[in-house]
């Protein structure tokens, strides 16, 4: 087998990790950034615990998940931000017609609407809220999108002045475009996206809705983001 064939085989093997509905369901659930137990994921995916254990083993071996054990419990989470970005971007490339079936219940309709309005995508904000924040940062000259996502010097200073510490210690970029699967446009990810999301939740600008990924902007969040970025309350709801 040639080197080229070897790479092709490795790529096909890696892609097969996602090409299974049960494993895909687990990866999408873990985009909430939490660590889940194997039992929680088994119930979410609708499969037996023994069946899920085999799937999780493949995802851990393939580098998409990391696992931790505490006593009898086995916890898994997405391995890192790159793994999360890969899952979110693959989801964004799914044709809308393939996922836009009518909601079967009022609860499902409400949950879908909440996710579209605002949600966490691993460790940054997505949905219409994430897009609105990205647009506001760009409009004020804090973020550039013309040659890929990049914070401007003014943007770096803005994050510092707003009390959002940027992690520049690792290889993670300060700003990265992440394709939003509901809006079909890129929102801000990377260290800056993570800092903004973390601060928004810790400062009470945003609150989680239920136990999932959906978030909503609070009245204090509307005031602060209006003052900091000139955003209208309507764009935050």
- Residues 18-35: tens digit of each pLDDT: 999 999 999 999 988 889
113 and 217, same structural domain?
yes
Contacts (Cβ under 8 Å, ≥6 apart) of 100: none
106 and 73, same structural domain?
no
109 and 67, same structural domain?
no
222 and 133, same structural domain?
yes
pLDDT the model gives residue 3: 57
pLDDT the model gives residue 101: 64
Number of domains in the chain: 2
184-to-111, 130, 158, 174 alpha-carbon distances in Å: 19, 12, 27, 22
Residue 151 within a domain: yes
pTM of the predicted model as reported, rounded to 2 decimal places: 0.79
Report the SS3 class of residue 204.
coil
117 and 73, same structural domain?
no
224 and 114, same structural domain?
yes
Cα separation of 188 and 124, whole Å?
7
pLDDT the model gives residue 212: 78
232 and 129, same structural domain?
yes
Give strand pairing partners of 73: 70
Range of the domain at 68: 3-79
169 and 71, same structural domain?
no
69 and 134, same structural domain?
no
pLDDT tens-digit readout, 49-101 = 899 999 999 999 999 999 988 877 889 999 988 898 899 888 888 876 655 66
- Which of these ranges, 1-5, 43-47, 62-66, 124-128, has the smallest mean pLDDT? 1-5
Cα separation of 220 and 207, whole Å?
11
122 and 61, same structural domain?
no
CATH number for the domain that contains residue 27: 1.10.10.10
Residue 114 within a domain: yes
Reported confidence tier of residue 113, pLDDT bands at 50, 70, 90: confident
141 and 25, same structural domain?
no
204 and 138, same structural domain?
yes
User: For helices 127-139 and 219-229, what crossing angle results, to 10°?
Assistant: 20
């Amino acid at each position: 087998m040639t080197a080229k064939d070897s790479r092709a085989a490795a790529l096909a093997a890696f892609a097969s990790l996602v090409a299974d509905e049960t494993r895909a369901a687990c990866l999408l659930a873990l985009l909430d950034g939490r660590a889940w137990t194997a039992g929680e994921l088994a119930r979410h995916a609708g499969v037996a615990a023994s069946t899920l254990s085999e799937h999780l083993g493949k995802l851990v071996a393939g580098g998409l998940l990391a696992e931790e054990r505490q006593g009898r419990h086995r916890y898994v989470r997405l391995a890192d931000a790159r793994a999360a970005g890969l899952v979110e971007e693959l989801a964004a490339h799914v044709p809308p017609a393939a996922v836009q079936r009518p909601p079967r219940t009022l609860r499902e309709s409400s949950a879908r609407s909440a996710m579209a309005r605002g949600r966490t995508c691993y460790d940054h904000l997505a949905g219409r809220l994430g897009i609105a924040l990205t647009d506001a940062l760009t409009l004020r000259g804090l973020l550039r999108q013309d040659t890929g996502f990049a914070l401007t010097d003014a943007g770096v200073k803005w994050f510092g002045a707003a009390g959002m510490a940027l992690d520049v210690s690792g290889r993670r970029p300060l700003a990265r475009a992440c394709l939003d699967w509901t809006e079909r446009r890129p929102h801000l990810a990377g260290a800056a996206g993570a800092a903004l999301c973390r601060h928004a939740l810790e400062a009470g600008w945003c609150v989680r809705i239920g136990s999932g990924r959906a978030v909503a902007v609070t009245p204090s969040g509307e005031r602060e983001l209006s003052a900091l970025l000139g955003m209208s309350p309507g764009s935050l709801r």
